[in-house]
Chains A and B, each alone.
Chain A
């Protein structure tokens, strides 16, 4: 169901950068390959030589040459690596929460072969020099390819546009003030006009600050009982409707971030029916949890923006994922330090981590009960780059290997051996999950192997 990326401009540089490393040569024997893009869904041997998929053939038919590690894939699955268009890597300025190295390691541990980093760092990524510096660092620190978005407005202050054309030349994949909305519709309109020249989809955190003011969780029965100020669900949809109208008028391309409510899904459907170039994402936590979870007042796991909403909202998001309204799953991986999270709910920072657990949590909560098919989950975890012109990875002869090997039987407890991320504010911390990433290849490199899972050399 994923639509072709729109022609919103040509990036001057390669959108993603990664630390160079040795190319992998691996033969995975007899695993179940599943790739919604190529249509493959069967047991195969898959041979990777020097980082490139050189052969996909019937199980037992391939043998690796010298120096090729062989892995028994029996009973295990191989998927194209996932792609997350919405993570917070916290560099520059908040490296105590996360940095390019820990954040991309967390991504690799979750089966991701690429991520897009948000620009609400300290200071925000607003100048070509910022993009330049980040790409430079990523070349020495990133274990999976990273792309960087720049802010829409200078310093995320909502007042002046950034040098969008130069930012694109420097390698900005798109634009976002994520963390806060672009409150001024006039500014957003100008940005979308500029986009017609320089490209780069604008990703929008939709929240009317006057409606959400002071809110710590979803407005509903639970917030009423807990005495927490609520954020009504229309906080999001009124902004989606506004911005879709502006994008429609200007012919601009927008990505709605972290959809959380029924009204938002409806607003996206209406805009799309009107022909607006609108894409959208949903997080694993909004697909798995509701505001009922907030009753424990555990901010580390349950405070984020947008907040966890009602069961009706959650069901609407699942339905929108199934019918194609929602383009992709994005974690909104938002690491925070313990002292920012283990405080009273209202005082805590917003955001939870999710890169390491996205697949396992959704497999456990949605695929195993039969709510969504496995192939759809793999597709939606892999399609996050498309709105920004980055095609999903493919299990295909001749392609550079970006894939993950997954054991769908393995059970594990989240966080019991710590995290690859520097932070531990994972929304499913302590949960027992089924399905575990054993190994991730990103652009031909081995980006991750589960410690207890060793490869035997043939």
Chain B
């Protein structure tokens, strides 16, 4: 596996490999010395054309924990992020000979184009409304840690599916692991033709009881101005997950950042059924595992010197 551009790029076995690797990194993260030398001497570039807290910080920390050198470029607010500058920026950064480039970009397919321009491994950290594969992997990891296998699990994804790259990656990711997915939201926010992905569609939360896991998407205020919903107030009344709707055995996930009181009520966020902070913690180890698999995975078969697993610095290999 050279790049991670879409969840389509990885099959179930490859997902398992990444999850197992992430588990071993989770163990390392509990040690006093959390760093491993795996990527010593290699350079990882993170290039973010959109604002991000979780994704950018966890990729940066993941690269550091693997002992890579890291260059972080934030082009947020730049008005000239129309691709030409992307190519020029990437050409500049390529002179550092990076082993991996992590890209977030407002346009679909930007990381795919980047993969065609550079020798480095490219990790898509979100491209427009298209894909966010590392999010899907960390969500699968989080969920598996809590419920074991996803086989047969019923997962509802609720909210602005139309504009969500997380939904596009997660529907496919969850299904690959054996879960069944239902999407719910007002018809204006459910893309036409989504049934072909094999998920079911609901326009109310009346049957939310049937869900094992409820995955909420961020509802952005702009959607009201664009008439996707008449009002945020009405949206919240129809689709907010709150105590009244949440059953006792259901788990709650959200990719963040949350809009408290819009798609999810505060008490649900802070409840024990919420996996939201675990998702953030998983983000770090899963992104370590992704970097590890992309940058060393292909050597496993040939190089004897390739480490079996992560070896903490200061411990005998």
A residues neighboring B (CB under 8 Å) = 219-221, 223-230, 297, 339, 342-348
Contacts and interface: CB of A to CB of B under 8 A. Distances in A.
A265 B71 CA distance: 54
Contacts of B108: 226-228, 297, 344-346
Given A344-B105, A344-B113, A230 B192 contact: yes
A297 B109 CA distance: 6
A228 B131 CA distance: 11
A346 B127 CA distance: 11
B84 interface: yes
> Which 4 A-B pairs have CB atoms at the shortest separation, nearest pair first?
A343-B83, A227-B129, A344-B107, A297-B109
B168 A225 contact: yes
Interface string B243-259: 00000000000000000
Given A224-B193, A228-B129, A297-B108, A344 B86 contact: yes
A227 B131 contact: yes
B110 interface: yes
Contacts of A347: 82-83, 107
Interface of B: 82-84, 86-87, 105-110, 112-113, 127-131, 165, 168, 191-194, 196-197
B194 A224 contact: yes
Contact of A226 (B86, B130, B197): B130
Nearest to B131: A227
Given A226-B108, A227-B128, A227-B130, A343 B82 contact: yes
26 contacts: A220-B192, A220-B193, A223-B193, A224-B192, A224-B193, A224-B194, A224-B196, A225-B196, A227-B127, A227-B129, A227-B130, A228-B129, A230-B191, A230-B192, A297-B108, A297-B112, A297-B113, A343-B84, A343-B87, A344-B83, A344-B107, A344-B113, A345-B107, A346-B106, A346-B108, A348-B83
B179 to A, nearest CB: 19
Contact of A339 (B84, B130, B192, B193): B84
A225 B191 CA distance: 9
A227 B165 contact: yes
A225 B193 CA distance: 9
Contacts of A228: 108, 128-130
Contact of B128 (A220, A342, A346): A346
Nearest to B113: A344
Residue among B86, B193, B196, B197 with the highest chain A CB neighbour number at 10 A: B193
A147 B105 CA distance: 43
Contacts of A339: 84
A230 B191 CA distance: 9
B109 A344 contact: yes
A203 B299 CA distance: 61
B192 A346 contact: no
B137 to A, nearest CB: 18
A219 B86 contact: no
A438 to B, nearest CB: 36
A343 B86 contact: yes
Contacts of B84: 339, 343
Contacts of B86: 343-344
Contacts of A344: 82-83, 86, 105, 107-110, 113, 127-128
B83 A219 contact: no
